Amino acid sequence: MTLRRIVEILRTGQPDDAVTIRGWVRTKRELKDFTFVDVNDGSSLTGLQVVLNKDLPSYADIIAQINTGAAVEVSGQLVASLGKGQRIEMQGQTITVHGGADPETYPLQKKRHSFEFLRTIGHLRSRTNTLGAVFRVRNACANAIHQFFQERGFMWVHTPLITASDCEGAGELFAVTNLDLQNVPKTKSGDVDYGQDFFGRPAYLTVSGQLEAEIMAMAFSNVYTFGPTFRAENSNTSRHLAEFWMVEPEMAFCNLDGNMDLAEQFLKYLFQRVLDQCLEDMEFFNQRISDTVLSNADAIINSQFERITYTEAIALLEKSDRTFEYPVSWGLDLQSEHERYLAEELFKRPVIVTDYPVEIKAFYMRLSDDGKTVRAMDVLAPGIGEIIGGSQREERLDILEQRIQAQGMPLEDLWWYRDLRRYGTVEHAGFGLGFERLVQFMTGMANIRDVIPFPRSPLNAEF
């Protein structure tokens, strides 16, 4: 008997193949002379139906043990299935129950459970159809991210999770310390004496690896980061996590046009790879979660992204007959409702908005010749709004220092960042993509906590 994954059996298995499978019982249906058992090993949305005949040794004892949730190993022969909706099934010959599951207490039974309930049993929710499909898509998407960049000669760099920089003031920071919180050392002026802390200065969990990626791009040309980042914002919403993953490429000798081109190619590549590898899961989402999942994927893959400036976007919003909750005016940032109107209703495809007002963007974004805007870009997608944010970086030392001071930041804290403009400066650009936001968009899942295995949010840090 050959041990095989169920997804492989469902795709290529043939009658008379002798195989062994290992997995968990999803359902059991007992008839007079035999029992149908649906076994799933996590490799596919669909499990393999196993038929156990009554003449199987110790049949009654085995059937009593293989309740929903039990871990089993089954060997047998594949046969053509007479059942509707399945090509093949297994005639079980031997079965081992590795671990039973008490049907009186096992919380996942053959019925729909709310996502709110499933979050209370995070150690078991991955066994459900929906969460299983989510995490297969997440895996395929993560793999595609690496393939995309590696095929193009990018180097994957590991930027620090502990940092003394808050990047762009992008959010509240989690402090990292080993000071005794019951007896915090103080200076003569009564402030916390960070000189006695582990790093000798305040340290935090990172909100972005961008600034460090710029360092590496100045040596390796094209690099990317893909790792966890942290925000200590007390936002208990369906769109926020305290710990999430970010993808951040950084390219030397690259301007905003090259940045936009890469972002468009990147999204098209990811969606195509996920459809190629997880079509069954994506069809499931389209049927059970949101009927826009496949049309959104098609819009990403097969549409040429619209490109407009922020100024043009404001004019289009002002001309619309829509009443928005948030005001529309040049100088104000675009809100999600504005972004979705542009992508979903006006252009009906992804939109890249560029050249935002200098006052609402970070210090490192390149100042345009008009002195009023910066070479920033946001990629807006139907159904979600902003999915990528990026910019051409400011490579001119004098202007960078003016921008740092204009935002009230001390120059000395960014001495190393300024050095990059002193020694071999070059135009460069990059963008950031929130990985969970991407998976949420791909799958149509309403709550971002349902697209990461172990969500971290206010008052929630289990496991």
- pLDDT, position 167: 55
The percentage of the chain sitting over the pLDDT mark of 70, rounded to a whole number, equals 99
Tell me the average pLDDT across 121-132. 96
The pLDDT tens digits of the residues spanning 314-351 come to 999 999 988 999 999 999 999 999 999 999 999 999 99
Q: Are 416 and 441 in contact (CB under 8 A)?
A: no
Here the contacts of 51-56 (C-beta below 8 Å, separation 24 or greater) are 51/89, 51/90, 51/91, 51/92, 52/92, 52/95, 53/91, 53/92, 56/92, 56/93, 56/95
Q: Determine the Cα–Cα distance for residues 119 and 268; give it in Å rounded to an integer.
A: 31
Average pLDDT rounded to a whole number, residues 96-107 = 95
| Residues 230 and 174: beta-carbon distance below 8 Å | yes
Q: Distance from CA of residue 23 to its chain's centroid? A: 27
Distance CA 299, CA 421 (A): 39
Separation between Cα atoms, residue 309 and residue 304, nearest integer Å: 16
Higher pLDDT, 156 or 409: 156
Q: How is residue 415 written in tokens?
A: 């001495």
Beta-bridge partner residues of 35: 30, 52
Note whether 137 and 438 are within 8 A (CB): no
Q: What is the C-alpha to C-alpha distance for residues 179 and 163, in angstroms, rounded to an integer?
A: 17
Beta bridge partners of 246: 227, 434
pLDDT for 426-449, tens place per residue?
Answer: 999 999 999 999 999 999 999 999
186: how many CB neighbours lie within 10 A of its CB? Answer: 11
The backbone torsions φ and ψ at residue 369, rounded to the nearest 5 degrees and listed phi first, read -65, -25
pLDDT at 384: 86
